[in-house]
């Protein structure tokens, strides 16, 4: 069964009676009205306001879609049979309508009746409870009535069976929502202990042991809690359902193969890469390089389609990292030209043409952007290899490893170098440690265990820092509903409106970040503001605050919202239905009106006094302003 067929079956199943879900359009991968997160990483992310109680623009309390998503924390995990950076998440939601009984029975019906999966192959997990949320015995009883025996029902703690955008309850920021969940796993059987991904051992296996035998295919989240204090959760007004199932994993299971890369979404491209390789292993012999190239290229295609370009900042940096890592592994297969790109890109696009026709339309531009980045990186790779040669030369005594004297042969010597130095080659030039080790081995030398351990520790520190940074980005601004952030978010709308009135309508958002301490706003302008202009902007903001004007929103079509004059940075990246927040008695005479997902204060008087702390020029024609609450 193809991915297209599985996707269509899922949408059709939940739209049909008696389920009666309303299909909604997927959100962009980059949400321009939410600067607090790099990418859309789940189907739930664009629906947070509605899970918190706001009515959905469609008027429906039952929604279904397939949401393209990017998860950057999985980049270094790609290479096994299941981790992906870009994926589609099949999702269905109940916004205060049905709950556990309907959800669990429907998803089991979809898996067993629509996809014809054997019920005997399905295992489930539920939340074991903690000191704030009780054990989910209700889900257990439902699963039993549906025919799932005790032996295939497992309890796990919050690390495994709690879901929010930021992890377990202790890691959730104030204002974040989450809830216990119940996951469904497909059992490929004990014989998978012989599978190439298996680390199956003699101890008892269980669904979350990650031995390779089980594959999670669906997660029903019972989204019913909001964090209101350091160690305090309270129930939301409505009990919601948020289901997510990875399309690629489900297709793999339907086809009876635990390797998601053998689905029609990847395998044609992998076979093309295999035909183009000039050296190295086949896919059967070593799957990792093929999987990394195919995954990273596919993710890059979708990011470039959203008008992203490789850079050293934020989303552009992730795109650059994906492309350069793919190129490193292409060289491992002896593909140094562009044939691996030009031949595999179409294979990765074809399965999506009818779903995302813009991909086909923009293929020439996508190819151009990706090829240009690959060309730029060729010199960097050579610099990385040169850095490895310096390490080699220090150990051997100035001998060029690629130009050994006649008759000289080096075999199985141990090279003792600082593992931190090996990691620095990765960090600076994009050469992973295993590639550095492979290059050294081809020169007749190998890293010892201490070197590799040091390198692995440096990598772990780097990954932890990356996760912490990503979490910090996510927790700021709109994802944080604390009072200070909400006040500064509304103040930022007033700042933009005031800048436009003082400087002109060329002022638009080019970057924004809101924390509890301050708001940071970037906009185009030839020069920094004069002291008089800064004072005028600040006075205008505080005048609107003193007038205590109401802050409201109106749900409108994207085109209708644009006609009102509402400000938006990149119109083409908004979904078809948007919210326009406006400050004033009506949308027609509003002081400020913007496309925005919220949240905001209800009246400007709640903000308090705003002070512009400083401004700086951050690039040609680009100004940054910092503002705080006094």
314 touches 38 (CB < 8 A): yes
Distance CA 269, CA 343 (A): 8
Where do the structural domains in the chain lie, given as residue ranges?
3-262, 267-475, 482-629
Distance CA 30, CA 307 (A): 10
Higher pLDDT, 557 or 462: 557
Read off the tokens for 624.
Answer: 């940054």
At 607, the pLDDT band (50, 70, 90 cuts) reads: very high
The hierarchical CATH code for the domain 482-629 is 3.30.980.10
- Whether the pLDDT of residue 461 is over 90: the answer is no
Quick one: which of 345, 395, 403 has its CA closest to 369?
Answer: 345
**Tens digits of residue pLDDT in 10-51:** 999 999 999 999 999 888 888 765 555 788 888 888 888 899
292 touches 329 (CB < 8 A): yes
Read off the tokens for 230.
Answer: 């350091």
- Whether the pLDDT of residue 113 is over 80: the answer is yes
CA of 446: how far to CAs of 422, 434, 533, in Å? 12, 11, 63
**Four-point Cα dihedral 383, 384, 385, 389, nearest 10:** 90
At 553, the pLDDT band (50, 70, 90 cuts) reads: confident
Q: Give the lowest-confidence range in 1-15, 451-465, 562-576.
A: 562-576
Mean pLDDT of 194-207: 58
Distance CA 10, CA 6 (A): 6
66 bridge partner residues: 90
**Tens digits of residue pLDDT in 74-105:** 787 888 888 899 999 999 999 999 999 999 99
pTM of the model: 0.73
587 touches 562 (CB < 8 A): no
Mean pLDDT of 187-195: 68
User: What pLDDT shows up at residue 302?
Assistant: 93
397 torsion bin: left (phi>0), alpha (psi -120 to 50), beta (else): left
What order of strands is seen across the sheet that includes strand 610-619? 511-514, 519-524, 622-629, 610-619
Read off the tokens for 383.
Answer: 């610099």
Quick one: which of 288, 264, 298, 266 has its CA closest to 69?
Answer: 298
**Tens digits of residue pLDDT in 366-413:** 888 898 888 888 878 888 888 888 887 776 666 665 665 555 555 555
314 torsion bin: left (phi>0), alpha (psi -120 to 50), beta (else): left
User: What pLDDT shows up at residue 614?
Assistant: 93
Q: Give the lowest-confidence range in 170-179, 452-461, 474-483.
A: 474-483
Distance CA 396, CA 416 (A): 11
User: What pLDDT shows up at residue 395?
Assistant: 67
Average pLDDT, the chain: 85
The hierarchical CATH code for the domain 3-262 is 3.30.930.10
Read off the tokens for 360.
Answer: 């086909």
Q: Give the lowest-confidence range in 221-225, 380-384, 610-614.
A: 380-384
User: What pLDDT shows up at residue 315?
Assistant: 85
438 touches 405 (CB < 8 A): no
Quick one: which of 207, 212, 217 has its CA closest to 252?
Answer: 217
Query: How many CA atoms lie less than 13 Å away from 305 in the CB half-sphere?
Result: 21
């Amino acid at each position: 069964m193809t991915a297209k067929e599985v996707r269509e079956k899922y949408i059709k199943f939940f739209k049909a009676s008696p389920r009666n879900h309303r299909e909604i359009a997927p959100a962009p991968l980059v949400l321009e009205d939410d600067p607090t997160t790099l990418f859309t990483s789940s189907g739930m992310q664009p629906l947070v306001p509605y899970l918190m109680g706001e009515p959905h623009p469609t008027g429906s309390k039952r929604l279904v879609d397939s949401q393209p998503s990017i998860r950057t924390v999985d980049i270094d995990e790609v290479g096994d049979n299941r981790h992906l950076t870009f994926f589609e998440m099949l999702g269905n939601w109940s916004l205060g309508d049905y709950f556990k009984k309907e959800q669990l029975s429907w998803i089991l019906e979809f898996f067993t009746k629509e996809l014809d999966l054997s019920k005997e192959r399905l295992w489930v997990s539920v939340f074991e409870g903690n000191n704030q949320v009780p054990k989910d015995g209700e889900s257990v009883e439902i699963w039993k009535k549906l025919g799932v025996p005790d032996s295939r029902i497992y309890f796990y703690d919050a690390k495994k069976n709690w879901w929010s955008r930021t992890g377990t309850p202790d890691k959730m920021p104030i204002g974040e929502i989450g809830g216990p969940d119940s996951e469904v796993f497909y059992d490929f059987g004990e014989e998978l202990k012989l599978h190439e991904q298996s680390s199956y051992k003699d101890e008892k296996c269980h669904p979350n042991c990650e031995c390779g035998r089980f594959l999670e295919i669906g997660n029903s989240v019972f989204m019913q809690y909001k964090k209101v204090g350091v160690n305090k959760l309270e129930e939301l007004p409505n009990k919601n359902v948020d289901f997510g199932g990875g399309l690629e994993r489900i297709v793999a299971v339907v086809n009876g193969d635990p390797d998601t890369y053998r689905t029609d979404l990847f395998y044609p491209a992998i076979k093309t890469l295999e035909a183009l390789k000039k050296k190295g292993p086949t896919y059967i012999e070593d799957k990792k390089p093929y999987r990394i190239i195919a995954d990273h290229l596919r993710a890059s295609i979708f990011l470039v389609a959203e008008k992203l370009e490789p850079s050293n900042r934020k989303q552009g940096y992730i795109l650059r990292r994906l492309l350069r890592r793919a190129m490193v592994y292409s060289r491992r297969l002896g593909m140094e030209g562009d044939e691996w790109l030009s031949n595999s890109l179409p294979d990765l696009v074809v399965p999506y043409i009818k779903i995302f026709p813009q991909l086909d339309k923009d293929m020439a531009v996508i190819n151009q952007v990706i090829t240009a980045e690959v060309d730029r990186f060729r010199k960097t790779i050579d610099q990385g290899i040169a850095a490895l040669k310096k390490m080699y030369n220090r150990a051997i005594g100035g001998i060029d490893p690629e130009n050994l004297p006649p008759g000289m042969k080096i075999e199985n010597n141990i090279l003792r170098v600082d593992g931190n130095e090996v990691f620095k080659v990765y960090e600076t030039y994009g050469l992973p440690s295993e590639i550095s080790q492979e290059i050294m081995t081809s020169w007749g030398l190998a890293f010892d265990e201490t070197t590799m351990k040091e390198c692995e520790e440096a990598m772990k520190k780097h990954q932890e820092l990356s996760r912490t940074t990503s979490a910090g980005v996510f927790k700021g601004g709109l994802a944080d509903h604390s009072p200070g952030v909400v006040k500064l978010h509304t103040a930022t709308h007033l700042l933009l409106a005031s800048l436009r009135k003082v400087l002109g309508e060329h002022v638009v958002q080019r970057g924004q970040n809101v924390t509890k301490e301050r708001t940071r706003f970037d906009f185009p302008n030839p020069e920094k503001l004069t002291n008089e202009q800064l004072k005028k902007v600040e006075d205008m903001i505080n005048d609107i605050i003193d007038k205590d004007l109401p802050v409201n929103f109106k749900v409108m079509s994207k085109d209708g919202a644009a006609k009102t004059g509402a400000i938006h940075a990149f119109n083409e990246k908004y979904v078809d239905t948007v919210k326009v927040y406006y400050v004033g008695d009506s949308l027609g005479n509003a002081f400020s009106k913007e496309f925005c997902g919220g949240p905001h204060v209800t009246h400007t008087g709640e903000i308090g006094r705003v002070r512009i702390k400083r401004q700086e020029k951050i690039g040609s024609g680009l100004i940054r302003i910092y503002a705080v609450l006094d």
